[in-house]
Amino acid sequence: MDMIWWTKVTNASRFLDQIINYIQDGQSVLLQLPKEPPWRQTMQNIVATGISQRNATSTYKSIQDTGQDPGEFLFYQFCREEKRAHYRPGIGYTEFLAKSEEIVLNECILWISGAGKDQAKKWYNFVGDYNRAKGKAKRGCIFLIETCDDTVVQDKKGIRVIRYQKEIEHYDCYIFSMMAASGLKGSGQFKRYLAEVVSGMFPEDVEMAAICISYGREFLEHPIQVIQDVITSESRSDGSRFQVAASEGELQERIWEAQIKVVFPLVEKHRNALIRKYQEQIGALLPIHTAYGEVIEEASNVELGILTYLSATGKIRMAYEDAGKAAKLKEARNILAHIRTLPQEEVDEILALETSLPKRNW
């Protein structure tokens, strides 16, 4: 699942390419990620591989932010003792590191992880000052600063800002969900519906979406129970527990929204098909005066409630199967119109009806 997201979903893959390309061009990067980026280690591995393949003369290193002043931290980590002996407080760590020759730091591409809001700002400012002090001609370190802080900052000399939330859209989660569902059993409509439900419920949590997709039909039949089971028994790729901020009511509403996108159009398609099939009989009854005072003058405007009424009262003669279908579709439409969700059993029945729709001749 992790490789589907980071290598097959266009925007996610482009996001990593953007990081690699900036590093290749000699620019440092401030990488603003969500608090729980999907498959973070896979992301870092792909970027590290891409950087290493394109920068044969540089050494890639991944380090954890310690909360120290960036210049002081790098001074003690990347300068040998004999080099440190030349340091004088008046020059400052930043300029000393930028001007120094033959130190390990000059050959490095550093990925700094776990920088909080204050530390990310310190690293961002340090890199800008370091680049200015170093100048264009001298070779130096390239930094990749990873932070969950989403404070809006701008590009500055030699450092580019890449925001995950800006590059990745909710639609990407849907594309991922479709790809993840492709290997499951079921019709194309079933897989599309599953992807719509899952991506709608967790548009910003791709790892949660992946697990829910793996449950397949069981998730659609018992979504809230599956979510509770995942929270109590499953872990993210980084070992942390899943958390869901949305309430049960909010999650049910998201399921309803998915049904409006996928199921409701099918209900309308079947309504239109039934009207076309019995158009002559319906046309003979026009105009139709409803109980609410509405006058229907065109057959295409006949709703399922009226259609079932005309059938039940014998005003039109419908095949037994079609009369049952109309009644079932009417009930489904009423449930959706009142912002309630259809049980999966009824969704399955409507999805199965898709094969009975007449083919259009284009």
89-121: per-residue pLDDT in tens?
889 999 999 999 889 999 999 999 999 999 999
Which range marks the domain in which residue 207 is found?
A: 169-245
At how many degrees (to 10) do helices 188-201 and 344-353 cross?
140
Asked if residue 208 and residue 86 are part of one domain, the reply reads: no
Structure-derived torsion over alpha carbons of residues 190, 195, 201, 202, reported in degrees to the nearest 10: 160
Is 300 a domain residue? yes
Q: Enumerate the β-bridge partners of residue 295.
A: 289
Q: Give CA–CA dist 268/290, Å, rounded.
A: 20
Q: Is the dihedral of CA 300, 305, 310, 316 positive or negative?
A: positive
User: Which amino acid appears at position 134 of this protein?
Assistant: K
Asked if residue 128 and residue 186 are part of one domain, the reply reads: no
Asked if residue 317 and residue 272 are part of one domain, the reply reads: yes
Asked if residue 41 and residue 157 are part of one domain, the reply reads: yes
At 153 the pLDDT is: 85
How does the average pLDDT of the chain come out, rounded? Answer: 94
Q: What pLDDT, in 10s, does the model give residues 327-362? A: 999 999 999 999 999 999 999 999 998 655 555 544
Asked if residue 225 and residue 190 are part of one domain, the reply reads: yes
Q: Enumerate the β-bridge partners of residue 241.
A: 235
The tally of domains found in the chain comes to 3
Q: Enumerate the β-bridge partners of residue 110.
A: 61, 143
Asked if residue 102 and residue 189 are part of one domain, the reply reads: no
Asked if residue 86 and residue 103 are part of one domain, the reply reads: yes
Q: Tell me how many degrees the CA angle 318-320-325 measures, rounded to the nearest 5.
A: 85
3-state secondary structure the chain: CHHHHHHHCHHHHHHHHHHHHHHHCCCEEEEECCCCCCCHHHHHHHHHHHHHHHCCCCEEEEEECCCCCHHHHHHHHHCCHHHHCCCCCCCCHHHHHHHCCCCHHHHEEEEEEEECHHHHHHHHHHHHHHHHHHCCCCCCCEEEEEECCCCCCCCECCEEEEEHHHHCCHHHHHHHHHHHHCCCCCCHHHHHHHHHHHHHHCCCCHHHHHHHHHHCHHHHHCHHHHHHHHHHHCECCCCCECCCCCCHHHHHHHHHHHHHHHHHHHHHHHHHHHHHHCHHHHHHHCCEECCCCCEECCHHHCCHHHHHHHHHCCCCCCCHHHHHHHHHHHHHHHHHHCCCCCCHHHHHHHHHHHHHCCCCCC
pTM (predicted TM-score): 0.89
Is 250 a domain residue? no
Q: Is residue 239 left, alpha or beta, with left meaning phi > 0 and alpha meaning psi from -120 to 50?
A: left
**Nearest partner of 68 among 25, 129, 123, 136, judged by Cα:** 123
**Confidence band of 320 (pLDDT split at 50, 70, 90):** very high
Greater pLDDT, 182 or 57:
182
Asked if residue 66 and residue 188 are part of one domain, the reply reads: no
How many C-beta atoms surround the C-beta of residue 80 within 10 A?
10
Q: 168, 200, 219: which is the final residue of a domain?
A: 168
Is 17 a domain residue? yes
Q: What is the mean pLDDT of residues 79-88?
A: 92
Q: 185, 210, 245: which is the final residue of a domain?
A: 245
Is 201 a domain residue? yes
pLDDT at position 40 over 90 = yes
Is 97 a domain residue? yes
Residue-level length of the chain? 362
Q: What pLDDT, in 10s, does the model give residues 130-166? A: 999 998 878 899 999 999 988 878 888 889 999 999 9
Asked if residue 138 and residue 228 are part of one domain, the reply reads: no
% of the chain residues with pLDDT over 90? 88
User: Which amino acid appears at position 267 of this protein?
Assistant: V
At 154 the pLDDT is: 87
What CATH number corresponds to the domain at position 78?
3.40.50
- Judge if the upstream peptide bond of residue 223 is cis by omega within 30 degrees of 0: no
Asked if residue 157 and residue 11 are part of one domain, the reply reads: yes
Is 229 a domain residue? yes
At 355 the pLDDT is: 59
**Nearest partner of 288 among 276, 270, 268, 305, judged by Cα:** 305
Q: What pLDDT, in 10s, does the model give residues 276-303? A: 999 999 999 999 998 888 999 999 999 9
At 56 the pLDDT is: 77
Is 200 a domain residue? yes
Q: 215, 245, 275: which is the final residue of a domain?
A: 245
Asked if 144 and 19 count as a contact pair (C-beta separation under 8 A), the reply is yes
Asked if residue 86 and residue 117 are part of one domain, the reply reads: yes
pLDDT at position 224 over 90 = yes
Is 321 a domain residue? yes
Asked if residue 230 and residue 154 are part of one domain, the reply reads: no
At 48 the pLDDT is: 95
